Chains A and B, each alone.
Chain A
Amino acid sequence: MTVLEATAVTKSFRGLQALRGVDISVEEGQILGIIGANGAGKTTLFNCITGAFAPTSGRVTLDGEDVTGLPAHQLARRGMVRTFQLMRPFATMSVLENVEIAAMSRGARGADVRREAARAVERTGLAEWAGRRSGSLPAGMQKRLELARALAMRPRVLLLDEVLAGLVPAERAPVLDLLEDLRRQEGTTMVFIEHIMAAVRRLSDHVVMMDQGAVLARGDAESVLSDPKVVEAYLGKETRSA
């Protein structure tokens, strides 16, 4: 079953065509990796899908239902959950409070909120930090907090924008383990933007490569990453690989 589908999505900003008819779709329990150079339109695509702004044209469906142009908070409540490259914690609140607010968004109440939040905090290795003010966490821990908030929202589809950015290599493997585990155990459907090719190879069932606002190649990770067009347009210039 297709969980998320974007069809012929375009986005223009005053004459600048940031997206030129992009199609992507993700089946239940699968992971789609999106790669491409900076400025290729990856984050703009995420923004159009998650309601940060409405696409100029095209259609976005979640579980077959047209959700094009719905505001971000409504999409989040329906399970379209997103993390950002730059963290957005509620800095004045504790780690646990941050996650509790996320747990509330999908309708949990009272003891359920605390249980779901505690579970997400535990799972992301933040239990010891639960009472700490989130604004005082180091960047790596704030990244975990973003993941904890996303998990507490019981995502129908989880969109991760460079979730490994800012993490030192030793911190990346456990995050990848967690994401794989989420897919295996809970069947979480994911779309992720990533520049680290080792992560793309390890996680993706399918890969879409974007270039100048359009899809340049799609398929399984190996075929896309070895595609001469992809090598020329992106990988040849790519320096961040692990």
Chain B
Amino acid sequence: MTTTLPATDTSPPGARTAPRLSEKSRVLLVTGAVLLVVAVVAGLRAGSGAVLTQALVTGVLTGGIYSLVAMGLTLIYGVLHIINFANGSLVALALYLTLICVQDLGMHPYVALVVVMPAMFALGALLQATLLNPVMKAPIQIQLLITIGLALAIENGLLLAFGPNPRSVALPGNTGVQVLGATVELSRIWAFAGALVIVALLALLLQRTRVGTEIRAVAANPEGARLVGIDIRWIYVLTFGLGAMAAGAAGVLVSPFTTIEPTTGAVFNLTAFVVVVLGGMGNVPGALVGGLVVGLTEQLAGLILPTQSPLLAVFVVFLVVLFVRPRGVFGRSA
């Protein structure tokens, strides 16, 4: 007879799942309600439905891109527990790679994705394997300083190679189109759609594949992962590669409407940190929600406080979230 352990010594499962779900729903509901109030105020202030619609559509489209930029950051934090200060610089590097693909190789900007994404993946994997893997057991500030150094090296490398002058990439046929009564550039719609597709592919990879399951296992408990035969150093290399690839994809997608300068990454870094903290450090779905919240906040704040920098409102929201819910909207790492 086969022995099985009885499961009768404690309360039945499921008893504690309901409050958890309701808490997440409650937080999302509150976030939605706050955004709605802000939207109404912004609408009243603007005095025109068309202006409000324009801000909402632009906010959502921009938010999608922010989500993609933050995705790499949150993935790397969730698995490696490294705050990658080089994330923005990787976006800047991808912008210049796109520039080369378009101007020197004559590619369509979006075709550059097939070159830039694998190149950035390889670069990320190489950086992890050579610079970060040897110091993974060192105190966290060592890894932080390495990513800061990396950011400086990339930024100055770009300055050396391309000079300080702003550049741009033109998207053929990039005209304004009507979306729900708002006028937006086609390039922003493509960027939003591309960002959603890449985020969805990343989520699928994490949830549905063997390697994705291994990545999540390492994120949840590296020692436990080693116990079940997972090579965690290889997973670190892969994850940093995926994070750099997400930054690379973001760089290509934003290239038609972004001024390309060696320091462009700084802006992306700042926004991505806010998105990641809003969504919960290491939380992939949280980054998607965080991106949309930041995109909408920026645009709506532009209507309420037209003379202020849109970033002001983003940081006010950031501080409020840190104050009332320091774990972020979703709370725990995915």
Chain A interfacial positions (CB closer than 8 Å to B) = 71-74, 76-77, 81-84, 88-93, 97, 100-102, 104-106, 122-129, 131-133, 136, 138, 140-141, 144, 149, 153, 168, 170-171, 174-175, 177-178, 180-181, 185
A90 contact from B224, B226, B332, Cβ within 8 A: B224
Residues of A within 8 A of B223 (CB): 84, 88
Known: A92-B332, A93-B217, A101-B217. A76 touches B9 (CB 8 A): no
Decide if B7 touches A126 in the complex (CB within 8 Å). Answer: yes
24 A-B contact pairs sorted by A residue (CB < 8 Å) = A73-B231, A73-B232, A88-B221, A90-B216, A91-B220, A92-B216, A92-B334, A101-B213, A101-B225, A105-B230, A123-B3, A123-B5, A125-B5, A126-B5, A128-B12, A132-B14, A132-B17, A140-B10, A141-B7, A141-B10, A168-B9, A177-B3, A181-B2, A185-B2
Decide if A170 touches B9 in the complex (CB within 8 Å). Answer: yes
For residue B224, which residue of chain A has the nearest CB? A88
Chain B interfacial positions (CB closer than 8 Å to A) = 2-7, 9-10, 12-14, 16-17, 210, 213-214, 216-217, 219-221, 223-232, 332-334
Decide if B10 touches A138 in the complex (CB within 8 Å). Answer: yes
Not counting A71-B226, A93-B220, A126-B7, a sample of 8 additional A-B residue pairs whose C-beta atoms are within 8 angstroms of each other reads A84-B223, A84-B227, A91-B220, A104-B210, A123-B2, A174-B5, A175-B5, A178-B3
How far in angstroms is the closest Cβ of chain A from B234?
Answer: 9
How far in angstroms is the closest Cβ of chain B from A28?
Answer: 21
How far in angstroms is the closest Cβ of chain A from B188?
Answer: 34
A89 to B213, CA, bound (A): 14
Decide if A181 touches B3 in the complex (CB within 8 Å). Answer: yes
Known: A73-B232, A125-B5, A149-B228. A93 touches B216 (CB 8 A): yes
A101 to B227, CA, bound (A): 11
Known: A91-B220, A132-B13. A76 touches B332 (CB 8 A): no
How far in angstroms is the closest Cβ of chain B from A19?
Answer: 21
Residues of A within 8 A of B214 (CB): 101
A141 to B8, CA, bound (A): 11
A contact patch SS? helix
Decide if B7 touches A72 in the complex (CB within 8 Å). Answer: no
Decide if A101 touches B228 in the complex (CB within 8 Å). Answer: yes
A230 to B154, CA, bound (A): 63
Residues of A within 8 A of B332 (CB): 92
For residue B210, which residue of chain A has the nearest CB? A104
A126 to B12, CA, bound (A): 11
Known: A88-B224, A91-B220. A153 touches B13 (CB 8 A): no
Decide if A128 touches B231 in the complex (CB within 8 Å). Answer: no
Residues of B within 8 A of A149 (CB): 227-228
How far in angstroms is the closest Cβ of chain A from B157?
Answer: 35
For residue A99, which residue of chain B has the nearest CB? B228
How far in angstroms is the closest Cβ of chain A from B68?
Answer: 23
Decide if A171 touches B228 in the complex (CB within 8 Å). Answer: no
A10 to B216, CA, bound (A): 35
Decide if A76 touches B6 in the complex (CB within 8 Å). Answer: no
Residues of A within 8 A of B210 (CB): 104
For residue A97, which residue of chain B has the nearest CB? B213
For residue A149, which residue of chain B has the nearest CB? B228
A67 to B110, CA, bound (A): 50
How far in angstroms is the closest Cβ of chain A from B218?
Answer: 9
How far in angstroms is the closest Cβ of chain A from B232?
Answer: 7
A129 to B334, CA, bound (A): 20
A129 contact from B3, B7, B219, B231, Cβ within 8 A: B7
Decide if B221 touches A73 in the complex (CB within 8 Å). Answer: no
Decide if A72 touches B2 in the complex (CB within 8 Å). Answer: no
Decide if B226 touches A76 in the complex (CB within 8 Å). Answer: yes
